[in-house]
Amino acid sequence: MCAFFCLFNLQRFAYNSRLCEQTLRSSQMANGFLSQDLNGKVALVTGAASGLGKDIAQTYARAGAAVGIADINPAAAEAAAEEIRAEGGRAMAVAMDVTDEAAVQAGTDSLAEAFGRLDILVSNAGIQIINPIDKLSLADWKKMLAIHLDGAFLTTQAALKHMYAQNSGTVIYMGSVHSHEASLYKAPYVTAKHGLLGLCRVLAKEGAAHQVRSHVICPGFVKTPLVEKQIPEQAKEKGITEEEVVKNIMLGQTVDGEFTTTQDIAQLALFLAAFPTNVFTGQSFLAGHGWHMK
């Protein structure tokens, strides 16, 4: 009889806990808009020493998260972390080559150990190599896929160890409009960005049992150092001016001829990290001024 009542009380406690969680989430969504609060959360952002990754890391820190600035350049990562600490935020530099499995595991574990948990992964590290398929070397092909796709896999695997253990987590992959589109001279980039959609969708299904969700953010052209480097490269390859590259190639398919900004994407990354339910898991989010509509 005692065992029966113990089991009954445990079931009632579990039901009440779920009911309280649902009520809290409903309350958050009923108050006009969702809270963009990351207090108590810990985030790892790769490629975060500069550009888009740095803006995402700063945005998370200002929302209350402790942030790991993961980058292949340790000095730049430390400088970015110091900027956050100077504003009163919590951050640590994490030296990480995302293609090196041991470095990824060690860096991820060091962040989780320093702050006690890991709630958010933003897989953002990336490079660009412009070349037509018939001139592209196998070495460049492998390098692109290693950084964009292997890096996403390795950082995901390292993060899941902690997220599964705590039964919660959010993984955000930095895709591109090129996750849905294709452009000349970008075969490995387009291939890798399409691949992120598959990884995200599988993780959404596998992670659901552990309350881990996944998303892909798909920006249009964001004027980061990576994109600025492409402008003269494409002008040379196509035999046109840099102004024509920007107007006709990069922004020609947008509805307003505008670049996407790093803050546009950082705010979307914050929204997804702070969202209280799994309703968007497995989905990609296009942010490119109407370049690709789906």
**Same domain, residue pair 102 and 113:** yes
Phi/psi zone of residue 185: left (φ > 0), alpha (ψ -120 to 50 degrees), beta?
A: left
Q: How far apart are CA 104 and CA 121, in angstroms?
A: 12
Q: Which residue has the higher pLDDT, 6 or 140?
A: 140
**Same domain, residue pair 108 and 243:** no
**Same domain, residue pair 147 and 242:** no
Is 66 a member of any domain?
yes
Q: Give the length of the chain.
A: 294
pLDDT class for 20, splitting at 50, 70, 90?
very low
Contact 151, 97 (CB under 8 A): no
Q: How far apart are CA 139 and CA 146, in angstroms?
A: 10
Q: What is the pLDDT of residues 28-81, one digit of tens each?
A: 444 445 678 999 999 999 999 999 999 999 999 999 999 999 999 999 999 999
Is 294 a member of any domain?
no
The whole domain housing 245 covers 223-259
Closest of 175, 201, 179, 172 to residue 270, by C-alpha: 172
164 is catalytic: no
Tokens at residue 250, please? 């990069």
Q: What is the pLDDT of residues 95-124, one digit of tens each?
A: 999 999 999 999 999 999 999 999 999 999
Element (H, E) at 13: helix 2-30
**Same domain, residue pair 80 and 207:** yes
Average pLDDT over residues 171-193: 95
CATH code for the domain in which residue 59 is found = 3.40.50.720
**Same domain, residue pair 250 and 275:** no
Q: Identify the active-site residue in 60, 173, 185, 189.
A: 189
